[in-house]
Each structure stands twice: as C-alpha cells, then as structure tokens.
C-alpha cells in the first residue's frame, strides 16, 4: 500500500513477520514508546520510502493467498508444491 506499518511487539510467533527497521517499526505498548517510534520513523523520510517498498515486496512474496497455500502444502506434504 506504500505505507510503513507501526506495530506493537507480537505476543505470538508469526509466520514470515515484517522485520523491525526493515519493513516497519515495532514498539512496546508501555509509556511513550509509540510516540518515540513515530518520531524516529519521521526523522528519516527517504528511509520510509525504502521501507515501504521492502514491506510491499515482503508481503507479496510471503503473504498472498497463493504463497500461504504453498506454505501449507509444503508444511503438510513435506515437499515444495
């Protein structure tokens, strides 16, 4: 979508997660961590454009319906589809 996600740290293990500082920004839910993460992100706007492109490529590679189906088949059958 051309945006950079700002996400709280996950409490579960995610499949092919977006990487902090590469595809988006993670923050702790306590205190002013969200505000600090946003200020840090906005400090380098050219980096945000690169991160948005990287996030889009990551999602298209690993989180499309086809990619997720391929992962399920590979996991269940033990071989690439």
Distances (CA, A) of 74 to 13, 50, 58, 80: 19, 31, 19, 5
What is the per-residue burial (b if ≥16 Cβ within 10 Å, else e) of 2-21?
eebeeeeeeeeeeeeebeee
- Kindly report whether the global pTM for this prediction surpasses the value 0.85: no
Tens of each residue's pLDDT in the chain, 81 residues: 789 999 999 999 999 999 999 999 999 999 999 999 999 999 999 999 999 999 999 999 999 999 999 999 999 988 665
Tens-place pLDDT, residues 7-24: 999 999 999 999 999 999
Q: CA 1, CA 7: separation in Å to the nearest integer?
A: 16
């Amino acid at each position: 979508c051309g945006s950079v996600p700002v996400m709280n740290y996950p409490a579960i293990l995610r499949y092919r997660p977006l990487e902090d500082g590469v595809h988006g920004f993670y923050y702790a839910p306590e205190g002013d961590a969200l505000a600090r993460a946003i200020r840090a992100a906005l400090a380098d706007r050219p980096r945000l454009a690169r991160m948005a492109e990287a996030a889009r490529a990551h999602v298209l590679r690993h989180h499309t319906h086809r990619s997720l189906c391929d992962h399920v088949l590979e996991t269940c059958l033990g071989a690439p589809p």
